[in-house]
Amino acid sequence: MTETLDELARGLAGVLPPGAVITDPVRLRTYECDGLTHHRAVPGIVVLPESAEQIAAVVRLCNEYGVPFVARGAGTGLSGGALPRADGVLVVTAKMRRILQVDLADRRAVVEPGVTNLAITEAVREHGYYYAPDPSSQQVCTIGGNVAENSGGAHCLKYGFTVNHVLALEIVTPDGDIVTLDADDPGYDLLGAFVGSEGTLGITTKVTVRLSRAPETVTTLLAAFGSIEQGGQAVSAIIGAGVVPAAIEMMDALAIAAAEAAVACGYPAGAGAVLIVELDGPAAEVAHQFAEVERICRDNGAFELRTAAGPQERAAVWKGRRSAFAAVGRISPAYIVQDGVVPRTALPDVLASIDRLSAEYGIRVANVFHAGDGNLHPLVLFDDAEPGAEERAGLVSGRILDLCVEHGGSITGEHGVGVDKSRYMPKMFTDDDLDTMQLVRCAFDPRGLSNPGKVFPTPRLCGEVPGVRRGVHPLVESGRAEQF
Amino acid sequence: MATPQETGPDAPQETGARARHGAGARDALSATGVTVRDAGPGDAVAGVMPRWVALPESTEEVAALMRVSAGHDLAVVPAGGGTRLHWGTPPERCDLLIDTCCLNEILEHASGDLVVRVQAGVTMDALAEALAAQNQELALDVPLAGSTVGGTLATAAAGPRRLRYGTARDLLIGLTVVLADGTVARSGGKVVKNVAGYDLGKLFTGSYGTLGIITEAVFRLHPIPRARHWVTAVLPSAPPAALSAGPSTSPGAVAAALAASQAEPSAVELDWLAPAGTFTVSALVEGVAAESRAGAVRDLLAGAAEAVPDVTGGGEAPGWWGVTPGEDVLLELRVPPSGVDGALRAIAARGLPARVRGSLASAVLQIALPPESAGTEPTELAKLPEIPEIPQLAEVAEVAAFVSGLRGDVAPLGGRLTVLTAPPELARLVDLWGPVGALPLMRRVKERFDPDRRMSPGRMAGGI
């Protein structure tokens, strides 16, 4: 440990409870990566604060020593957003997991950042409410991490992302102030800008979330198609018919085979693609939509349709889909999980191009995706024992992102940019676009201490603001206006 | 740099230095090739007269104008349909009004993707008409006819269906802006699901032109529901005491029941003439099965209403639905849903005749002083009482007391009151915006985006 970190660690021990400052190398190593395990860095110091005030004290000390800091929830992120800094402090919110308030009359809950996504739903389920965003890691991922990444989930097609369900945030700014960002505040929507900023604008210390009424009816349909093209046409037809399902998920033959090997999900044999369509809402509405979706699937060549009646059957239908990422481990020694988005109508083109890439490089790609919103999760499979295979897989993975951008899509739909994709940002944005985003960064974090090296491709210095008025505003001075 | 004495509505004269620079600036603006004219009386921004008006037709033309403005230290205010140009605080100074009326193209309607890319000057009505041809809509209600896309975003305007679809910030997926120095920046994109980079769209929503000029926007769309039904009921009139006595028939209780209802209304609206009028509550149900769901809503309302609730289908909304309750003094009250009854009691207790209208279940209400019918035809259900005389200036102090008093009343409920528009006399007596917790951060954002304070300076909260 450097002398600076040594001194900082002593300072941190003075503002945190006993045992909340970790400097033991063995224990530090357990925090060296998040869900994206090929990026690793052992943090300089780990702290386990228990309150916003303690986080603010940590951040102020970091400022004093000019040391960068990174916030971490459960470490389930898939873009290296919580990758620690060897020269910095990792602020772990694991001890801040209280649900502070559940207010059904106001349809909201106030929680600490370390509360898991699913814990919110579990706290209100018996009253007929739930928290809508449902990332697949929802049993373990924290709401603080969800805020940083603007997490979505399978049901965001109808219900939106974290940003649509957060009503207020208490944050510690990168210079150590505790500030509340409220959706009801007039002026700039700083709350909206903060959500999804991947920890680069400060640390979330309290989250007010919207609670949603559990729908009257949920119906889940599994449709098996001979080919992915047929499945894709069915998706377009469903959307074109004016149906907005809660979720539309698709898996191709390779992904189905993997899921079958891993969890024996029992999807129809011989399927080139399966589609999971979930409809929810008022019973009368769902009944109409269900009939329509069923007809469309048959018209587009579905050879088998299954309907999940109750929660258990629904869980069975979802089992294969939910296990897909881990399942490819059964059919491939190593793999890359990609996350890209294309306009829904471009899905057939892009999938065909991915097929060509796969053949060209001799790399298998299993496709799992949120078809309703064009969010692809290609699983690029390779054998890490085979020389050159990892490089080729990396190339295929990168080329898939190129395809997404060429078709007017995005390099990430829900996993975030983190360290993993910062180099792809210039493919999607011009220097002017990125410089403009940097203005926001500089407003919040002029010293660049909050999760530096993430999101943006090249670190930039903020510099002083030119021409800013210091002191009293002339209109105030002349008595013609008051500042409030 | 302007000194305070030269700015403001009642000090239009220029100093010698600015007059000398004026001709050069005007020439440079014209040299961009963009149509530029001298400002007329109709061009004032909250009472402040610009010197010139420019009519760009593209993002690039806006950028050219902004580069000239940067070189000549011109203060710039963007304008859309002008429906809310008198809202907010007057600008400290305004040299150039950039009228976005000619940025009027719908650039791309990808109906299969339920996405539209549109220039900022397109009116919300024109957009709705074009989308309807493909049986789609932007699920954002526009309270004022003639509003543009850009103006709607800059003022974060929304209407009844915010309950189901959210507001502009929830439906906006991509944005193109021109900054004070002429930089063109884009964020977001053409896909709904996208977490690459900061979402500048959020930042510009509600920015009142103080960060830059919105030139293009991309929205997510929804299919037009196959049927719409409104269920409208009149709740007992309520002197302040009655509201607390009969909670199950109070507007707040009715709203809570409707919000929790499995009939899933898209909107629940209130129309009320304070202090003692009856509460008219109307709920919108949308979908294939709207009729049967409207029946469920009617049954729910019947328990609380004075008479059998009225159900209307076929696009027949109550006349006041989604219409701004007034234009002279217009306030916006936001409160957590459980605080609605308390807030209504507080309004009644203030005694002024105020028309209160807005999203009851979302607990975002507009309050107009003095009440006026705002162009609506009184319906059988919502007979508007006699409209009192418009208060004279002597009564401005009374209105100011209403604003600061009510602000104090709703604060313990977690509520906040903003003055959307008011005569200048009132604006001198009260803070239009009320306390804003994140103001220091907003100031820092402003300083980075517009260090020379040339973008709509002073239009927003805290003198931003």
Q: Could you give the residue ranges of the DSSP H alpha helices within A116-223?
A: 117-124, 143-149, 156-159, 190-194
Lowest mean pLDDT among A326-335, B8-17, B126-135, B171-180: B8-17
Domain locations in chain B?
Answer: 4-101, 104-223, 228-429
The pLDDT confidence band at residue B378, using thresholds 50, 70 and 90, is very low
Instruction: Annotate chain B with three-state secondary structure.
Output: CCCHHHCCCCCCCCCHHHHHHHHHHHHHHHHCCCEEEECCHHHCECCECCCEEEECCCHHHHHHHHHHHHHCCCCEEEECCCCCCCCCCCCCCCCEEEEHHHCCCEEEEEHHHCEEEEECCCEHHHHHHHHHCCCEECCCCCCCCCCEHHHHHHCCCCCCCHHHHCCHHHHEEEEEEECCCCCEEEEECCCCCCCCCCCHHHHHCCCCCCCCEEEEEEEECEECCCCEEEEEEEECCCCHHHHHHCHHHCHHHHHHHHHHCCCCCCEEEEEEEECCCCEEEEEEEECCCHHHHHHHHHHHHHCCCCCCCEEECCCCCCCCCCCCCCCCEEEEEECCHHHHHHHHHHHHHHCCCEEEEEECCCCEEEEEECCCCCCCCCCCCCCCCCCCCCCCHHHHHHHHHHHHHHHHHHHHHCCEEEEEECCHHHHHHCCCCCCCCCHHHHHHHHHHHCCCCCECCCCCHHHC
Whether B183 and chain A come into contact, CB under 8 Å, resolves to: yes
Residue B445 and residue A161: Cβ atoms within 8 Å? no
Instruction: Find residues 319-338 of chain B whose CB sits inside 8 Å of chain A.
Output: 334, 336-338
Higher pLDDT, B428 or B140: B140
Q: What is the pLDDT of residue A429?
A: 97
- Cα separation, B297 vs B271, whole angstroms: 18
Q: What is the pLDDT of residue A38?
A: 87
- CA of A315 vs chain B CAs: smallest distance (Å): 23
Q: What is the pLDDT of residue B8?
A: 40
Q: What is the pLDDT of residue A471?
A: 46
3-state secondary structure of A476: helix
Which tens digit of pLDDT belongs to each residue from A93-130? 999 999 999 999 999 999 999 999 999 999 999 999 99
Percent of chain A with pLDDT over 90: 89
Chain A residue with minimum CA distance to B434: A484
What value does the mean pLDDT of chain B take? 88
pLDDT surpasses 70 at A479:
no
Which class does domain B4-101 fall in? alpha beta
CATH 1.25.40 fits domain B228-429? no
Q: What is the pLDDT of residue B120?
A: 98
Q: What is the pLDDT of residue B239?
A: 53
- Cα separation, A252 vs A365, whole angstroms: 10
Whether B448 and chain A come into contact, CB under 8 Å, resolves to: yes
pLDDT surpasses 90 at A483:
no
Q: What is the pLDDT of residue B385?
A: 43
Q: What is the pLDDT of residue B6?
A: 39
Whether B390 and chain A come into contact, CB under 8 Å, resolves to: no
pLDDT surpasses 50 at B7:
no
Q: What is the mean pLDDT of residues B113-129?
A: 97
Which tens digit of pLDDT belongs to each residue from B57-103? 999 999 999 999 999 999 999 999 989 988 988 999 999 999 999 99
Residue A193 and residue B186: Cβ atoms within 8 Å? no
> φ, ψ for residue B350 (rounded to 5)?
-75, -20
- Domains of chain A listed by start with CATH number: 3-92 (3.30.43.10), 99-213 (3.30.465.10), 217-406 (3.40.462.10)
pLDDT surpasses 90 at B373:
no
Which of B302, B307, B286, B309 has its CA nearest to residue B232? B309
Q: What is the pLDDT of residue A438?
A: 96
Which tens digit of pLDDT belongs to each residue from B28-47? 999 999 999 999 989 999 98
Q: What is the mean pLDDT of residues A386-398?
A: 95
The pLDDT confidence band at residue B330, using thresholds 50, 70 and 90, is very high
Whether B98 and chain A come into contact, CB under 8 Å, resolves to: no
Q: What is the pLDDT of residue B314?
A: 63
What value does the mean pLDDT of chain A take? 93
pLDDT surpasses 90 at A215:
yes
Q: What is the mean pLDDT of residues B331-339?
A: 96
pLDDT surpasses 60 at A30:
yes
Q: What is the pLDDT of residue B5?
A: 41
Chain A residue with minimum CA distance to B461: A187
Q: What is the mean pLDDT of residues B215-237?
A: 93
The pLDDT confidence band at residue B383, using thresholds 50, 70 and 90, is very low
Chain A residue with minimum CA distance to B264: A282
Residue A344 and residue B113: Cβ atoms within 8 Å? yes
Which of 1.10.10.10, 3.30.930.10, 3.40.309.10, 3.30.465.10 would CATH assign to domain B104-223?
A: 3.30.465.10
Whether B203 and chain A come into contact, CB under 8 Å, resolves to: yes
Q: What is the mean pLDDT of residues B314-338?
A: 91
Q: What is the pLDDT of residue A451?
A: 97
Higher pLDDT, B434 or B375: B434
pLDDT surpasses 80 at A319:
yes
Q: What is the mean pLDDT of residues A303-315?
A: 92
